[in-house]
Amino acid sequence: MLTLLSAPMKLQQLRFLAAVAQNDLNLTAAAAKLHTTQPAVSKQLKLLEEELGVSIFVRNGRAFTKITPAGERVVMYAHRLLREAQNIKGVSQEFKDQGRGALSIGTTHTQARYVLPAVISQFREQYPDVEFHLHQGASEQLAEMAQLDHIDFAIATGSQNLFAKYVLLPCYQWHRRIIVPADHPLARVKRPRLDELADYPLVTYVFSFMGPSSLQETFAAAGLRPKVALTARDSDVIKTYVRLGLGVGIVAEVAEVHVGNQGQVEVDRVTCAVDCGIAVNPNNIVAQVEGSVAFGLGAVLYGAITLKDGRVEQDNFNNYRVLRMSEMPHVQVFIVPSSEAPTGIGEPAVAVIGPAVANAVAAATGNWITRLPMGQLNE
């Protein structure tokens, strides 16, 4: 008796399968992408199904109408294998030059916008030839990207149950802030209680009310049910709808500047990039920038000079406000690599800290500052 054996699975068949799945089951589009013919794609996929002993596609004549449940898993593993095959090809190049390669990170919109720019900038300075791919999404989407091996690692907030199969490493803790328009009743409350928050519609992140959430659990523990007016994935979207009066915003405290309940401007972090030629003494450069940030902030936030009877009233630090140690923000200094001759560093942040804070306040509140000092917006 003669037994006919099907041909062994080939990597090319998996490429055909992935292309068809990515082109919404359109064989013509997949064939064009692969620079081959439609009959060749159909034949290879048929051979793959025979090799596996399962149907990957539901067919209507020669056309594919949908992927079967078994096919969904085959497609998932095909993507994973193709990615690993690409990684194998890159191994030799990476070992020849370990400053090259590719890195894919999945993260939330808020992390991508406020937390990672300085980190990525520093990484790019150290590894300029590494391809960097940033994928944004909610925690559920990041978990799916990880499952499909589309990313090397994820930076997510909460939703640990979605990443049960992965090693979880804590990076930092974040805190939520309440944001409201200046004329909102809660703006006059120093520390609003949960029952007071529950009286107003809330505008917050999508993931805060999808599955287990510390925010949702906090309300539930107090026997309260929050009124959700709108959810969004991006903190800037949340702030926009809060300005429109849609509700009370609950956002992550990751912005560079925030405005307190009484209208006081508080600077949380300052990031500086300095180009001063060859850095002879990097520590001195950082110290000069930090000092000029402190001096400049004191001037733009509190440096009021008033006149009475033709004379300046301020005569010492008892009546001329300066920045206090507890108000000093975290300062990140990035020295731009340069081969130019070294120049002086001086106090460069004094001139630019005012415009930087004014822009940040405008982004946070929607209002442009037109006077100095800017430390108290309600005055």
* Structural contact between residues 13 and 44, judged by C-beta atoms closer than 8 angstroms: yes
Q: What is the pLDDT of residue 144?
A: 83
Q: What is the pLDDT of residue 328?
A: 87
pLDDT tens, per residue, the chain with 379 residues? 444 445 567 788 888 888 888 888 888 888 888 888 888 888 888 888 888 888 888 888 878 888 888 888 888 888 888 877 777 766 666 666 666 778 889 988 777 877 788 788 888 888 888 888 888 887 778 888 887 778 888 888 766 777 777 777 766 656 677 888 888 888 888 788 888 888 898 888 775 444 556 777 788 888 888 888 888 777 778 888 888 887 766 665 433 566 666 677 888 888 777 777 788 888 898 898 899 889 988 888 888 888 989 999 988 888 888 888 888 888 878 777 777 777 778 887 788 888 888 877 876 677 788 888 887 766 6
CA distances from 151 to 117, 141, 145, 333, 359 (A): 18, 11, 6, 29, 34
How confident is the model over 31-66, as pLDDT tens digits? Answer: 888 888 888 888 888 888 888 888 888 888 878 888
CA distances from 347 to 98, 234, 293 (A): 38, 35, 8
Q: Among 199, 226, 373, 241, which residue's Cα sits nearest to residue 296?
A: 373
| Sole residue written with tokens 């008892």 | 318
* Structural contact between residues 251 and 176, judged by C-beta atoms closer than 8 angstroms: yes
Residue 125's Cα: distance from chain center in Å?
19
DSSP result, 285-331: HHHHHHHHHHHHHHHHHH----EETTEES--STTTS----GGGPPEE
Tell me: cis bond preceding 201? Omega within 30 of 0 counts: no
Q: What is the pLDDT of residue 93?
A: 62
Question: CB neighbours (10 Å) of residue 375?
Answer: 22
Give the β-pairing of 227-232 and 101-107: unpaired
Question: CB neighbours (10 Å) of residue 177?
Answer: 14
* Structural contact between residues 57 and 68, judged by C-beta atoms closer than 8 angstroms: yes
**CB neighbour list of residue 364: distance below 8 Å, 6 or more residues apart:** 239, 255, 257, 258, 259
Please, which residues bridge with residue 101 across strands? 130
How confident is the model over 257-294, as pLDDT tens digits? Answer: 666 666 778 888 887 777 777 888 888 988 988 998 89
Phi, psi (degrees; rounded to nearest 5) at 22: -75, -20
**CB neighbour list of residue 262: distance below 8 Å, 6 or more residues apart:** 376, 378
Q: Would residue 206 be called left, alpha or beta, if left means φ above 0 and alpha means ψ between -120 and 50 degrees? A: alpha
pTM for the complete prediction?
0.43
Q: What is the pLDDT of residue 253?
A: 41
Cα–Cα distance measured from residue 89 to residue 169, given in angstroms and rounded to the nearest whole number? 29
Q: What is the pLDDT of residue 255?
A: 35
Cα–Cα distance measured from residue 261 to residue 188, given in angstroms and rounded to the nearest whole number? 6
